[in-house]
Each structure stands twice: as structure tokens, then as C-alpha cells.
């Protein structure tokens, strides 16, 4: 399956491969205040390949908070947050927001709440290495 996603104005788009075709897509509704306020519900396939394309990088705000180990890519034109990345040992990992999918039936997405408040940095990075998308290309096309 090739999943297409984007922010609302399509300044930031992505394509995610998911092989074999998923019977369901597990999604984590993070209960932190940022994800609650932005509708951040995240999924990843550690064997998937993600390509993120940005038309106008000057219109993407990169926001980090808390442990400062993840970067939220926010389209500053339309306010949507399609992607989070984390640079761990010089490799880029990512998760994508199921609320920004364009070609996936909502019934395929299984949403579950998650709370990560009690996680320390070490276990957080280890979890991302295990579960986040490890093949990530981030392409900035314009300025
Ligand atoms: Zn946008």
C-alpha cells in the first residue's frame, strides 16, 4: 500500500509504503498537550519507506519541546502537523499523523490512546529506533 498524506494546503506532502497491505493501521493518540491541541495521532511502520516533500520550506515551522528529541513539522500556512522526525545517532526516524492521510479509509485506522509522560529519554529513543519509520527522505523543493 502506498499511503499519501499532506497538510491542508499541500505545502507539505508525504508518501509512505506499507508492505504487505495492512489489515489495520495502529495509531497512537498521544495525550500530551501539543498532540491534543493539534490532533496528533501517530503511526509508523518500521519496515516502511517515507518520503516527505516540502514545496516552501520557509512555510514549515519546526517545533521541539520537552526532551527536545523530536521535531514537529508544522505547516505555518495552514497549521497542520503531518510529520514528526527524530534524529537518533545520525539517522532520521519519523512518524506520520493519520489525520493527514488522503487515501486511507478511516475504518482501516485503529486509534488508541497513549501516554508517554513517564518515559525517560533513553527508553524513548530506544522505542523510536524499534518502532518508527527508519527509511526517511526529507526533500525540500523550493525556498
Ligand atoms: Zn499547509
Instruction: Give me the helices (H) in 5-104, please.
Output: 33-38
What pLDDT does 117 receive?
84
Output the CA 94–ligand 1 centroid distance in Å: 19
What pLDDT does 15 receive?
98
Output the CA 48–ligand 1 centroid distance in Å: 24
What pLDDT does 142 receive?
80
What pLDDT does 69 receive?
95
Output the CA 142–ligand 1 centroid distance in Å: 14
Question: How many Cβ atoms sit within 10 Å of the Cβ of residue 58?
Answer: 12
Cell triple for residue 12?
Answer: 507539505
Output the CA 78–ligand 1 centroid distance in Å: 4
What pLDDT does 99 receive?
98
Cell triple for residue 98?
Answer: 493519520
What pLDDT does 44 receive?
98
Q: Which residues of the chain have pLDDT under 50?
A: none
Cell triple for residue 95?
Answer: 512518524
Output the CA 19–ligand 1 centroid distance in Å: 28
Q: 101 Cβ partners below 8 Å, 6+ apart?
A: 3, 4, 5, 109
Output the CA 140–ligand 1 centroid distance in Å: 14
- 80 CA to centre of own chain: 11
Amino acid at each position: 500500500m502506498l499511503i499519501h498524506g499532506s497538510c491542508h494546503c499541500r505545502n507539505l506532502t508525504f508518501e509512505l509504503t506499507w508492505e504487505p497491505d495492512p489489515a489495520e493501521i495502529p495509531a497512537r493518540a498521544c495525550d500530551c498537550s501539543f498532540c491534543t491541541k493539534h490532533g496528533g495521532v501517530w503511526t509508523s511502520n518500521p519496515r516502511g519507506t517515507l518520503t516527505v516533500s516540502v514545496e516552501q520550506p520557509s512555510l514549515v515551522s519546526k517545533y521541539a519541546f520537552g526532551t527536545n528529541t523530536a521535531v514537529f513539522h508544522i505547516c505555518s500556512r495552514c497549521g497542520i502537523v503531518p510529520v514528526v522526525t527524530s534524529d537518533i545517532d545520525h539517522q532520521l526516524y519519523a512518524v506520520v499523523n493519520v489525520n493527514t492521510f488522503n487515501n486511507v479509509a478511516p475504518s482501516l485506522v485503529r486509534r488508541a490512546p497513549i501516554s508517554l509522560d513517564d518515559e525517560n529519554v533513553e527508553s524513548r529513543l530506544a522505542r523510536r529506533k524499534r518502532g518508527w519509520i527508519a527509511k526517511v527522505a526529507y526533500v525540500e523543493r523550493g525556498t
